[in-house]
Structure 1
Amino acid sequence: MKKLKALDEDDLKDHSLNVEDVLKFNGLSDVDGLDLFSELKVLKKIFPNENTDMFGCVALVVDTMGATLVTPAATGRALVEPTGEEDNIAPSDKKIKIGINGFGRIGRLVARVALQRDDVELVAVNDPFITTDYMTYMFKYDSVHGPWKHHELKVKDSKTLLFGEKPVTVFGVRNPEEIPWGETGADFVVESTGVFTDKDKAAAHLKGGAKKVIISAPSKDAPMFVVGVNENEYKPEYDIVSNASCTTNCLAPLAKVINDRFGIVEGLMTTVHSITATQKTVDGPSSKDWRGGRAASFNIIPSSTGAAKAVGKVLPALNGKLTGMSFRVPTVDVSVVDLTVRLAKAATYDDIKNAIKEESEGKLKGILGYTEDDVVSTDFIGDSRSSIFDAKAGIALNENFVKLVSWYDNEWGYSSRVVDLIVHIASQC
């Protein structure tokens, strides 16, 4: 990485450097923003939302690199040029190395998300219950999200998969303490088995060389984060965190906007949720949840969910104000949240729509969506956003009592947030 130095006013007369020039000086060709800045591991410090003006972002990047800017943002000019000297700043293309424990629905989709991004690198997968050949098949073909189309995928040997020319190490270890993450350079491990969801169990990955563990499920004792809502509360000393649930990731951004703008006195949530791998194809034993043991493809099944109560963990202002339930329905992907709330501040339904639309185009862009189209569930398969507000589906009884509807791809959207959370944590370490 080349050092940058400030230009004085005399230099300014002879230079007309724009933002792209500054980025090129550092060997950076991608100026779209998000991937660039996450590669620099300062995503949230310098890119708090996609409306940040590009000059401001570059100014902060340059400041991070130790340069001094002497021009006001209004000029639109970046007063820096390369010196050709080397320093010890890490290369901008250094990727965040990820390992995945458990190659089920979420594990495979987190892998798909990671392999399509430039800021992270999948280096290892552990699953003791499937062979490398079968792992390849399960990754390559997906009944919901379609076949893998981005790299040629093949087995190099019993311990290595090749995505194009990129090797990914495969382990088949049952005890997480014995998974040698450190040998692969995997600093971040996604714990997606659904088994090791508390801090003590997830901590086993640290013994194998992982530095941070992200649990892809709610946890009874690990700090819980929802990107777009409370990720800035993360502290570097947190080695084990939870990405909450897919439903909490849908509900929390919507609830945050409503509470920030109008105040929530109390509310009830219902999620109409697609079937998941824990359900039965035909009626079978389910001692803890008798209704959950009924055939998933043939029934609408009432179920419990802690998603609404979990919102109180990521938004303390709503603690004790929300609860909810679930209906499991015979669709394979995409779910929808119905949030019915009593407002502290009177608002028309148009006021609410406008507030959500504004946030969806501002600091919650990419997390919270907004649509006025006549959509149905399959329209959201593969949507990476956490929550897409359906303006036409909601209703208001009066200016203090409303029902709001928001869609989410409970697989792809959630898996995207797992990777986003990793990138954010990396930027803070």
Structure 2
Amino acid sequence: MTLRLAINGYGRIGRCFLRALQESPFRERYRVVAINEPADLASIEYLTRFDSTHGRFPGVVETDGDALIIDGQRILVSHADTPEAVDWAAQGIDLVVECSGRYGTREELQRFLDAGCPRVLLSHPGTSAEDVDATVVYGINHEALTGAERIISNASCTTNAVVPVLDLLDRAYGVDQAMLTTIHSVMNDQPLIDGYHHTDLRRTRSAMQSIIPVATGLARGVERLLPRLTGRVQAKAIRVPTLNVSAIELAVTVHQPVSADAVNQLLADAAHRHHQSRLAYTEQVHASIDFNHDPHSAVIDGGQTRVCGAHLLSLLVWFDNEWGFASRMVDVLHHWHQCWPTANGLNSLQETPQ
């Protein structure tokens, strides 16, 4: 049985999710059958086929009437401005992947359920923890999903990158305080040249000419996933003029004395255990472009690990803010689906016991 998916909002993450699903081992189990995106179909086809960051689509992309055709599979495309304007039930949608970023409160997200979508997977944290049934960082708390959830969030790309590292450090050494600085590639809420468009005055400035500090909710995101660190985490973010791949400069004071070698060994061992999903470790000499299209949530750069005294630790964590995050959405989708109840008590993708 193939799960029928819809994507609402076919921008950077929506298109990356479709590609990540296409390149995943689960591609035969989940099928995108609908896309809702205000843009015209010709632009949707073109931006699916060609991507300045991730290259050509690894398949055949065509159109037919009001549909996008991927390797012969028909995806019905609508251009509605609201969830209610799409007949999701008539298309047999099992889950909508909400990538528009326009809906964050419980009331707003409930509109998808009321319009015929049985479940919603968010590509952003939601307005608050109470607005979703669960906020999931794969590898940290995905196993807590029961299948009874209707709306879950995949958190943010930065939360997915830093939470696994903070969790490891806290369990091993005890985190007293953490200061996180995200060095993030440009995003589509920034103009190429100065222009009136945003209440954050810094974001009216040219994205490609300046390093621009912006507001971030990363500290709240960390505390939502690791409540034991509440009150001990602060964060700031800086946008830099690169298209993709970001980094987090992580400064932590720890309770137990540490050395750079011991910390690197801890992180390298963890990366070895989780190399297929959330963590990777390297001591090679890298620049950010080397991690373009990297599927990991975080790549620890062991060559940049520093310890001052015995309790102040600094780490550099790379992450592809598009591809790594979209890859985790696929992982969370797959795990969540394994938890769903079925009429006979078995998940439809699980083998029937002999």
Normalising by the residue count of structure 2, what TM-score does the alignment of the two structures yield?
0.91
Tell me, in whole angstroms, the C-alpha distance in 1 between the residues paired with 2:298 and 2:219: 14
Q: Which amino acid aligns with 2:250?
A: L
Q: Is the 8 A contact 2:186 2:240 kept in 1?
A: yes
Computing the radius of gyration from Cα coordinates, the structure with the larger value is: 1
Unaligned segments of structure 1, at least 5 residues: 1-93
1:187 aligns with 2:94: yes
**Corresponding residue to 2:330 among 403, 406, 419:** 419
Tell me, in whole angstroms, the C-alpha distance in 1 between the residues paired with 2:331 and 2:105: 21
SS in 2 for 1:320: coil
Higher alpha-carbon deviation: 363-372 or 189-198: 363-372
SS in 2 for 1:332: coil
Unaligned segments of structure 2, at least 5 residues: 341-354
Moved over 4 A (4+): none
Tell me, in whole angstroms, the C-alpha distance in 1 between the residues paired with 2:270 and 2:3: 29
Q: Is the 8 A contact 1:229 1:315 kept in 2?
A: no
**RMSD of aligned Cα (Å):** 1.4
Deviations 1:193-234 (A, max 9, x none): 111122221221112322211111121232311111111222
Alignment of 1:26-65 (within 5 A): none
C-alpha displacement at 1:256, in angstroms? 1.0
1:156 aligns with 2:67: no
**Corresponding residue to 1:236 among 138, 147, 160:** 147
Tell me, in whole angstroms, the C-alpha distance in 1 between the residues paired with 2:115 and 2:333: 18
1:346 aligns with 2:257: yes
Deviations 1:50-86 (A, max 9, x none): xxxxxxxxxxxxxxxxxxxxxxxxxxxxxxxxxxxxx
Match of 2:345 in 1: none
C-alpha displacement at 1:287, in angstroms? 4.8
**Corresponding residue to 1:262 among 167, 170, 173:** 173
Tell me, in whole angstroms, the C-alpha distance in 2 between the residues paired with 1:351 and 1:365: 23
Match of 2:348 in 1: none
1:372 aligns with 2:283: yes
Q: Is the 8 A contact 2:255 2:311 kept in 1?
A: yes
Q: Is the 8 A contact 1:340 1:402 kept in 2?
A: yes
- Identity, in percent, stands at 30
Tell me, in whole angstroms, the C-alpha distance in 2 between the residues paired with 1:369 and 1:166: 34
SS in 2 for 1:278: coil
C-alpha displacement at 1:178, in angstroms? 2.7
Q: Which amino acid aligns with 1:327?
A: I
C-alpha displacement at 1:288, in angstroms? 2.4
**Corresponding residue to 1:133 among 27, 38, 42:** 42
C-alpha displacement at 1:309, in angstroms? 2.5
Match of 1:144 in 2: 53
Q: Which amino acid aligns with 2:253?
A: R
Tell me, in whole angstroms, the C-alpha distance in 2 between the residues paired with 1:349 and 1:95: 47
Deviations 1:111-135 (A, max 9, x none): 11122233321111111x2122221
C-alpha distance 301-348 of structure 1, shift in aligned 2 (>3 A): same
Q: Is the 8 A contact 1:115 1:121 kept in 2?
A: no
1:277 aligns with 2:185: no
Tell me, in whole angstroms, the C-alpha distance in 2 between the residues paired with 1:424 and 1:111: 17
Normalising by the residue count of structure 1, what TM-score does the alignment of the two structures yield?
0.75
Higher alpha-carbon deviation: 409-418 or 315-324: 315-324
SS in 1 for 2:273: coil
C-alpha displacement at 1:235, in angstroms? 3.4
Tell me, in whole angstroms, the C-alpha distance in 1 between the residues paired with 2:147 and 2:102: 25
Match of 2:206 in 1: 295
Equivalenced residue count is 333
Q: Is the 8 A contact 1:275 1:329 kept in 2?
A: yes
Q: Which amino acid aligns with 1:123?
A: V
C-alpha displacement at 1:175, in angstroms? 1.4
Q: Is the 8 A contact 1:284 1:293 kept in 2?
A: yes
Match of 1:88 in 2: none
C-alpha displacement at 1:363, in angstroms? 4.2
C-alpha displacement at 1:390, in angstroms? 0.3
Deviations 1:250-269 (A, max 9, x none): 11111111111111011100
C-alpha distance 113-363 of structure 1, shift in aligned 2 (>3 A): closer
Q: Which amino acid aligns with 1:101?
A: N
Tell me, in whole angstroms, the C-alpha distance in 2 between the residues paired with 1:406 and 1:195: 29
Match of 2:104 in 1: 197
